[in-house]
Amino acid sequence: MKKSRVLIALVAAVALTASACNANPTPGSGGTATTGGTLHILFDNPTLKEDPAKSQSLAVSAIHLMIRSLTTWKTDPNKPPTVVPDLATDTGTPSDGGKTWTYHLKPGVLYEDGSKITSQDVKYSVERTFAPQLSEGLAYHKTLLVGGENYKGPLTGQDLPSIATPDASTIVFHLNKPYGDWPWIVSMPAFTGVPKSKEDVVHYQDHPLASGPYKVQSAQQGSKIVLVRNKYWDQKTDPVRTALPDSIVLDMALNGEVINQRIIADQGADQAAFSFVTLQAALAPKVLNNPQVKARLAVSPSGALDYLALNTRKAPLNDVNVRKAIEYAIDKNAVQIAAGGPVIGGDIASTLIEPGISGYQKYDLYQAPASGDVAKAKALLATAKFNQTAPLVLISQNDSLHVAVSQAIQASLQKAGIKVTLKPEDDDSWQADSTGGKPNYDLSLSGWLPDFPSAQGSIQPLIGTSEIGNGGFNISQYSNAQVDAAIAAATSQTDLTKAAAQWGALDQQVMQDAPIVPLFYAKNAFLRGSKVTNFYLPPYPPYPSVLTVGLTGK
């Protein structure tokens, strides 16, 4: 899961009406997307991990220009993403109550050398993620596959029997528990094809064998990776990628502010480029006050949940009425302003599930003015017979945004008669104090964005009993047997529509106990050059999809 360790300063609630369809122009793009040209994507990261075993990239990221997984995500500017088949013929057939998942590969899907992608290649790709040398990638499958806890990867000469390949086009996964979100899991980079004969632990990431529309022409980590067309990719088998540019250059190790300054200037090759660095708040006036530049700004409808965790195991916060008093007392308007205001901060939040995630239901159990309800908070404190002997300790990261938000929370609670001491910490100290199992705090300021668009990722990591301590992110120390049972039921539901309804109900069930104060849904904002089209940020994830971007002919 993505921890929002730094509150992201974001820009401009700009209405997005861009279409992902390559037949329609994106407003401000300069025209309709055409086939051809060289697209540049500008990164501040010094390296890009293009080995699928090492990658933590989402399904809309650059690695998926080169590789295809069993499933992928279909995004839309205005709707939550859906999971769709990619290498596979469907999103998976569950059996054994959701503990077994079967996939069949589409006929005619090929690598860049013209060879056929087989189920054995997919099995090997997943197995190699268990090797200690290749263990940096997303790891959800490692705890779900039977025997995964003891498996050390294929480089030892061993295979993982819980991944079966009865023939060259069929692959079957045996899980240790029912898991309805498995179709999302197999959209991750590991679930591509890697032929065993192509294994190169050190250099595979420089040239992964392409199954997507582009292959690596050259790779200089720390500088740039150049992608050119893979002639063996067949668009008829691909439901998502449009493969409009002839080539794509991934420019790395650039200064983030310089990147955005270049896109604002919109000169030369930068007209055919977009920034993969969120626009900095300091540059917001330069963008918002120039209509031509503002037209090239894409803003996510929603984003990570920034929230205040209440330590439910420590007095006085072990009293639900004290926690509810805090829910009412916090001036979310002041918090929003401290984070940059409604334009560069985000929308005020009241739920655990982020907008854009299936299962999100708009509700607010603690209805109050945006500035809070001090009278209601004081009444609840009186019911709890609240008698504070020492200030509550609020820990946060020590950057200016977290400190500003913490100060707004401190002032809010002071009005209700709750004293708070602020304890800003460096990132490592905050991480250790929040997740290390020794919670010497009362309140912790944090943020969260799931790695895949399921409400399971919005709720279970934050409130499941199993996520307390040992690096887990249940920093509220919240434990409720009924909630844990409901989590297990929703997790095992293989009908994603039914699962979404269960997660939505769970959201409200948890908030009745008030272990978390949702503060705001932080937004992301990215700039593109004037020749870039089909560029938008969906409700989730709050990042541009590189799979559909093209260039205008003008």
40 pLDDT tier (thresholds 50, 70, 90): very high
Give residue-wise pLDDT tens across range 130-149: 999 998 899 999 999 999 99
Q: Is pLDDT above 70 for 2?
A: no
State the chain's maximal CA–CA distance in angstroms. Answer: 74
Tell whether 516 is covered by a domain. Answer: yes
167 and 30 in one domain? no
Give residue-wise pLDDT tens across range 476-499: 999 999 999 999 999 999 999 999
Residue range of the domain that includes 363: 305-522
Tell whether 396 is covered by a domain. Answer: yes
CATH code, domain carrying 216? 3.40.190.10
Q: Contact at 8 Å (CB) between 277 and 255? A: no
341 and 280 in one domain? no
Q: What is the mean pLDDT of the chain?
A: 91
Mean pLDDT value of segment 64-84: 95
Mean pLDDT value of segment 58-87: 95
Helix, strand and coil content of the chain, in percent to the nearest 5, comes to 30, 20, 50
550 and 421 in one domain? no
Domain boundary among 246, 266, 283: 246
Which amino acid would we find at residue 456? Answer: Q
146 and 132 in one domain? yes
Q: Contact at 8 Å (CB) between 426 and 514? A: no
Tokens for 528? 């593109």
393 and 505 in one domain? yes
Tell whether 252 is covered by a domain. Answer: no
Sheet-wide strand order for 550-552: 33-34, 550-552, 532-533
Per-position DSSP letters for 268-290, written without gaps between them: GGGGGEEE-SPPPGGGHHHHHT-
502 and 374 in one domain? yes
Give residue-wise pLDDT tens across range 47-72: 888 999 999 999 999 999 999 999 99
Q: Burial-class residue 432 by CB neighbours within 10 Å (0-12, 13-18, 19+).
A: middle
Structural domain total, the chain: 3
Which amino acid would we find at residue 508? Answer: Q
Q: Is pLDDT above 90 for 262?
A: yes
286 and 402 in one domain? no
145 and 272 in one domain? no
Q: Is pLDDT above 50 for 283?
A: yes
Tell whether 3 is covered by a domain. Answer: no
Q: Is pLDDT above 60 for 14?
A: no
Q: Alpha-carbon Rg of the chain, whole angstroms?
A: 24
Q: Which helix (H) or strand (E) holds 261?
A: helix 256-265
207 and 351 in one domain? no
Tell whether 2 is covered by a domain. Answer: no
Tell whether 251 is covered by a domain. Answer: no
Query: How far separated are the first and last CA of the chain, in Å rounded?
Result: 40
171 and 98 in one domain? yes
Tell whether 253 is covered by a domain. Answer: no
Mean pLDDT value of segment 420-435: 93
Dist. CA 436–CA 441, nearest whole Å: 12
Q: Is pLDDT above 80 for 29?
A: no
Dist. CA 492–CA 490, nearest whole Å: 5
458 and 385 in one domain? yes
DSSP-assigned beta bridge partners for residue 225:
219, 250
CATH code, domain carrying 377? 3.10.105.10
Dist. CA 248–CA 120, nearest whole Å: 30
Q: Is pLDDT above 70 for 23?
A: no
Reported in sequence order, the residue ranges of 50-167 that DSSP labels E, i.e. its strands, are 71-74, 82-85, 93-95, 100-104, 163-167
Give residue-wise pLDDT tens across range 456-474: 999 999 999 999 988 899 9
Tell whether 208 is covered by a domain. Answer: yes
Q: Is pLDDT above 70 for 326?
A: yes
Mean pLDDT value of segment 322-351: 90
Q: Is pLDDT above 60 for 270?
A: yes
Q: Is pLDDT above 60 for 376?
A: yes
Residue 8 has what pLDDT? Answer: 33
266 and 166 in one domain? no
Percent of residues, the chain, with pLDDT higher than 70: 94
Contacts of residue 206, Cβ cutoff 8 Å, sequence gap at least 6: 50, 216, 219, 221
Please count the CA atoms within 13 angstroms of the CA of 404 that sit on its side-chain side: 17
Give residue-wise pLDDT tens across range 184-225: 999 999 999 999 988 888 889 889 999 999 999 999 988 999
Q: Which helix (H) or strand (E) holds 220?
A: strand 214-220
Peptide bond into 541 cis (omega under 30): yes
